[in-house]
Structures are given as structure tokens and as C-alpha cells.
Amino acid sequence: MKADTATVKDVARHAQVSLATVSRVINGADNVSPHIRQKVQDSIKALNYFPNNAARALVRRKADSIAILIRNLHSTFFSDLIHGMEDGGRAKNLNVLFCSMGKEQENRDRYIQFLTNGITDGIILYGPLFSDQPIIEHLHGVKFPFLLIENNFQSLPVHQILINNQDGARVAVEHLIELGHTKIVHFMGDPNRKINLDRFNGYLYTMHAHGLNMGEHYVRHIGQDSEAAYSIAREMMRLPSQERPTAIFCSDDKIAAQAIMGIMDAGFSVPENVSVLCFDRLTHYEDQYRGPDFTYVGQPLYEIGRDSIMYLTEILEGNAQEPIMKTYDTTLVLGGTTAPPERSAQ
């Protein structure tokens, strides 16, 4: 913090008025005579005065800023989200502070305690990092204004933004069906995450709706470690061509990247022999990955980012009596990993 700065007191003395009057000028109150206002403004300039925002926040009980809490600010996955938030914040002339939580519980708790006690008026929490009950319950308990994105917290009535994972899965699977696929397997990520369950359900529902009968082995559980998808895919390609699936719908891009590499290393190619499709465009293994651009289910991250700021300001202004609950639809983005099945396989 600054070494030595002018304060209202200094300005008051310099302009020969009271503290109250200086404060009034600073905050643009209308009940101060033009002559005195000018004198105060001159003094402010002369002393190079800026109000101390900590003192101001303390007495006004309002910090004039909000914060965004994300697991990793550097991930290119968040580019569009952040872009939307930047634009949303600028449109409202808000001080938006972006904070990167990391994996450590301790680090995250420190940030939250710092931000929610006098430094910001409200926060936006992105992603499953924050699904653990205690923190959400604490914020809800002390009535600190916050908004969850893509978190799906069920046990309390909190403000949240979600994407329609189940419907996204439907669109993805129907795309494969339209191409002519019938033997479509699902590579499913960590079932403890609600989004993976939703995507799985969307897959299941759509397969049933199209009368596609599947055996047990049509769902492969990848679990938390995406790299498992590599060997599972590779293994799968060993099946006789009658039994072999012609398409894979994956929970996310990490899994898809591993699956595609497994397929390629087994001597097959995508999409000629197998179509692969997933949620989100590839951002994680970009360096290692050498394959065609993904066909994927995209999230409207820019819009979510932009709107989230708007919703938070609504909450701060007290305009959100009912809990906000918005669901955003996904879009299928066509790339080079899906194609009609091979003739011989039909």
C-alpha cells in the first residue's frame, strides 16, 4: 500500500472546509455551493488526492467490486468464458477481479475468506471445484451474494447457471444415428460428477428412443483418469468387425483425445473406421494430440460469462427474490472426427 498519501483531512484543511463537505464533493452530492465545490476540487487536484477504498468500503459496507473464482485461469478452455465476463463487467463499469484457485483446498479457502469479507460485494464460482458442501453452505448461511456456474448444487436454493448436458448428449448421439451408426458406445467419465451422469442419461435415453438395443458393454467406465480411455479404445479395436462399435460418444474432450490416439495406435483411423464425438473442444492434450479436428458439443461459454455478470449484479441490487436458475443449450460443432460408418460394417 502507498507510503504516504493525502487524506480527506488534508484536503479539508487545504480548502478550509470540513471533512463532510469534502466527502460531499467527492461523492457528487448536489447540496454544496458551486464556489465551495470548485475550491475543494482544486484542492483535490493540488494535493493529488484519491480516496482510500478500504476506508470507503468499511463505512459504506460496499466494496464496489466482484470476483470470479476459477480453478485455472490459464486454461484455454476458459478463454471464451473470461472474454464474456470481461465484456459483461465493462458494460456495467464494474471492478472485476479474477482469481485462480488451484487444486489446494487451503489456497481456495484463503481466497474465499479474503474476498468475501470486505473486499468484494459478490462472487461467481465456476465449476465442480466448489461443489463441496461446506463452502457453499457457509456462503449461503452468511448470506453473501454468489452465483454458481456449471456446478449443480442441489441441497440449497442457490443462484446457478447450468448447461443442458442431457440434451447436448441427445444431439450428439442423434448426429451419429443420422450418419447411419447403430453400434454406438459411450466412454463415460467420473460418475461422481453430475455432468457425466447427465451426459450418460442423454446417451441412454436417445439410444432407447431410437430403438437401439445395447448390451452392457456399450458403456465403458473410464473413471477419473482419462488416460484409461487409450487402452480401452485400443482393446476395443481388437474385436471382430461384426461386434466392433462404429462410433464412440465420450463424456469429454480429454477422453476423446485418448480414445482417438488409442484407435490410431491400434492401426485404425478416425473417422474412416470409427467416429468419435464428445463434449467440449480439445484444450488439454493439445500438444500430444495428432488427429483431426474434433466434432464436439460446444458450450456457449461467452454468453454464459457475459450473462453471469449481469445476473450477479441483479442479485446485488436485490432484484433476485427467487433463486436464479438458467440452463443454456449446447451446439453441435462439426469437425473431422465423425463420418458415416464403413460399408463393410453395416
Partner DNA sequence: CATTTTGTTGAAAACGTTTCCAAGCTTAAC
Partner DNA sequence: GTTAAGCTTGGAAACGTTTTCAACAAAATG
| Residues in contact with a copy of itself by the rule CB under 8 A | 1-5, 48, 50-58, 61-65, 67, 72-76, 78-80, 82-83, 86, 89-90, 93, 95-100, 102, 104, 107, 110-111, 113-114, 116-121, 138, 141-144
239, three cell numbers: 474385436
217 interacts with, out of a copy of itself, DNA, none, CB within 5 to 8 A per kind: none
Size of the site for DNA (CB under 7 A): 31
Nearer to a copy of itself, 99 or 214 (CB): 99
Neighbours of 106 (CB within 10 A): 8
32 interacts with, out of a copy of itself, DNA, none, CB within 5 to 8 A per kind: DNA
Region binding DNA by CB under 7 A among candidate stretches 55-63, 165-173, 278-286, 309-317: 55-63
**Ramachandran area for residue 284 (φ above 0: left; ψ -120 to 50: alpha; else beta):** alpha
Do 251 and 187 meet the contact criterion of CB atoms below 8 Å apart? yes
- 130 in contact with DNA (CB under 7 A): no
- 5 in contact with DNA (CB under 7 A): yes
- 46 in contact with DNA (CB under 7 A): no
Region binding DNA by CB under 7 A among candidate stretches 30-38, 65-73, 104-112, 305-313: 30-38
Nearer to DNA, 31 or 93 (CB): 31
Interatomic CA distance for residues 196 and 189, integer angstroms: 6
Give the nearest distance from C-beta 232 to DNA in angstroms. Answer: 53
- 36 in contact with DNA (CB under 7 A): yes
Neighbours of 220 (CB within 10 A): 21
Residue pointed to by grid coordinates 489456497: 107
Give the nearest distance from C-beta 10 to DNA in angstroms. Answer: 8
344, three cell numbers: 463393410
Residue pointed to by grid coordinates 471533512: 19
Do 158 and 322 meet the contact criterion of CB atoms below 8 Å apart? no
Do 276 and 337 meet the contact criterion of CB atoms below 8 Å apart? yes
9 interacts with, out of DNA, a copy of itself, none, CB within 5 to 8 A per kind: DNA
Task: Classify residue 215 as exposed, middle or buried by CB count within 10 Å of its CB (0-12, 13-18, 19+).
Answer: exposed
Interatomic CA distance for residues 277 and 203, integer angstroms: 12
Do 36 and 21 meet the contact criterion of CB atoms below 8 Å apart? yes
One of 3, 28, 30, 74 touching DNA (CB under 7 A): 30
One of 3, 28, 31, 215 touching DNA (CB under 7 A): 31
91, three cell numbers: 458494460
Nearer to a copy of itself, 118 or 323 (CB): 118
Contacts of 93 (CB under 8 A, 6+ apart): none
213 interacts with, out of a copy of itself, DNA, none, CB within 5 to 8 A per kind: none
Do 148 and 125 meet the contact criterion of CB atoms below 8 Å apart? yes
One of 13, 41, 47, 52 touching DNA (CB under 7 A): 52
Binding site for DNA (CB under 7 A): 5, 7-9, 16-24, 26-27, 30-33, 35-36, 49-52, 55-56, 58-61
